[in-house]
Structure 1
Amino acid sequence: MHSGIARQSVGAVEKVMPYQWTTPPRAPRQELKLWPHNALSPEGFAIMILGFFLAALIPLMGVLGTLLLWGLLPFLLAATAGLYYALRRNNRDRQITELLSITSEQTRLQRTNPDGMTQEWESNTYWVTVSLHETTGPVPNYVTLKGAGREVEIGSFLSEDERKVLYTDLTNALRRVKDK
């Protein structure tokens, strides 16, 4: 774990993790920001919609100049509109951020959901434990923080391998802060 964007080495390939420690590892306050992958950029979105529309037009070239074209065109437009809606909805649903702050006295997790509502959890750092539920959670390698009588998930939107790395990073960060 280090300041900056976390990286995971997979063979010779280094993968950028969708979370970032925003403070140096030895700082008295450790801060972590997590977010879901957003693989489709705005440019990629436009290319996808245009590419789909143009590819769907190819079969219609054979019916140009006939009434059948006008019968099929609404279905092409509906399919394009459906793809547009689905991609926009997916992007909106992935607007999640989690902010974790760890000091020697208090650990605080704040999650901002796609609808703008926030959920907060905090506990005395001394009592906080990190757990990796390899098979018993809703997803494989489910990571939770436990303290103040509650157990909360963190990084559930990450991939299975990313949650393993997150678990190790969180365990190390808590250990360093508690040892001070």
Structure 2
Amino acid sequence: MTAGNAFAPEQQVPEPTDAELFSALLTPHRSLNQTGFIVLMVVVSGVSFVGGIASWLMGAWPILGFFGLDALAIYWAFKVNFRRARAYEQVSVTPSELRLRRVSHRGHVMEWIFNPLWVRLDQITHEEFGVEYLYLVSRGERVAIGSFLGPDEKASFAKALTAALLAARRGPVLNPI
């Protein structure tokens, strides 16, 4: 039983949502995938094993342990590298907000919400290397963005984000029929 002025579920009007002007998922670049890692570890382990056995046969048996430690250190370094690659930054721009969501490799989430009318993108550029740092600045708050990107990637991202901020400042475009 419903009240006289209640809407039936099929008659409810959906809430107006802001159209997303820009969305980007920034992830750290890793040049070695899981398959490459397995192949590399097989090669390193094989070389360490052959070198260790050769040293052992020549009478330098302690060298066998050091070869094993080297292979273990390489394995550990790559595992740390792969774990750090799980971090990402998610940036989205709508006419009413710019949202930056940063997730660390441990899963810690930090989120900033800015008004696109008041935020600006600052770039620190080196004449030889290109864009070194990107910051979102709004009302005295300064947040670094895309710190793990290369200079060319930062420049491309800055160009796209600046265009999205300009579109948000222009406001919605009405297209009458």
Which of residues 129, 143, 160 is equivalent to 2:151?
Answer: 160
Structure 1 residue corresponding to 2:82, chosen from 91, 99, 114: 91
Of 138, 153, 158, the match for 1:147: 138
Q: Give the TM-score of the pair, scaled to structure 2.
A: 0.76
Q: What is the Cα-based RMSD across aligned positions, in Å?
A: 2.1
- Which residue of the other structure, out of 122, 127, 151, is the alignment partner of 1:131? 122
The offset of 1:65, in angstroms, is: 3.6
Distance in 1, Cα, partners of 2:29 & 2:111? 22
Distance 2:67 2:108 in 1: 37
Percent identity reads 27
Aligned position for 1:35: 27
- Listed as ranges, the matches of 1:14-163 within 5 Å are 28-29=19-20, 30-60=22-52, 62-63=54-55, 65-68=57-60, 70-135=61-126, 140-163=131-154
Which whole-Å deviations, capped at 9, do the CAs of 1:82-123 have from their partners, x for residues lacking one?
000011011112221111121111111010011211111111
> How many equivalent residue pairs?
150
Aligned to 1:3: none
Please say if residues 125 and 133 of structure 2, whose CA atoms lie closer than 8 Å, have aligned partners that are also in contact.
yes
Residue aligned with 1:37, SS = coil
**How far apart are 1:127 and its partner, in Å?**
0.5
Amino acid at match of 1:83: I
Larger radius of gyration: 2
Contact 1:122 1:148 in 2 (8 A): no
Other structure's SS at 2:117 match: helix
CA contact (8 A) 1:123 1:148 kept: no
Q: Is the Cα contact below 8 Å between 1:111 and 1:119 reproduced in 2?
A: yes
Moved over 6 A (4+): none
Query: Residue 63 and residue 103 in structure 1: after superposition, are their counterparts in 2 closer, same or farther (change >3 A)?
Result: closer
In structure 1, runs of 5+ residues without a counterpart are 1-26
Q: Per the alignment, in what secondary structure is the counterpart of residue 33 of structure 1?
A: strand
Select the structure that is richer in strand: 1
How big is each residue's C-alpha offset from its partner over 1:19-78, in whole Å with a ceiling of 9 and x where there is no partner?
A: xxxxxxxx931221110012211111111111112233444464464542x321111111
Q: Any stretches of 5+ residues in structure 2 without a counterpart?
A: 1-17, 172-177
Query: Whole-Å Cα distance in 1 between the matches of residues 158 and 29 of structure 2?
Result: 18
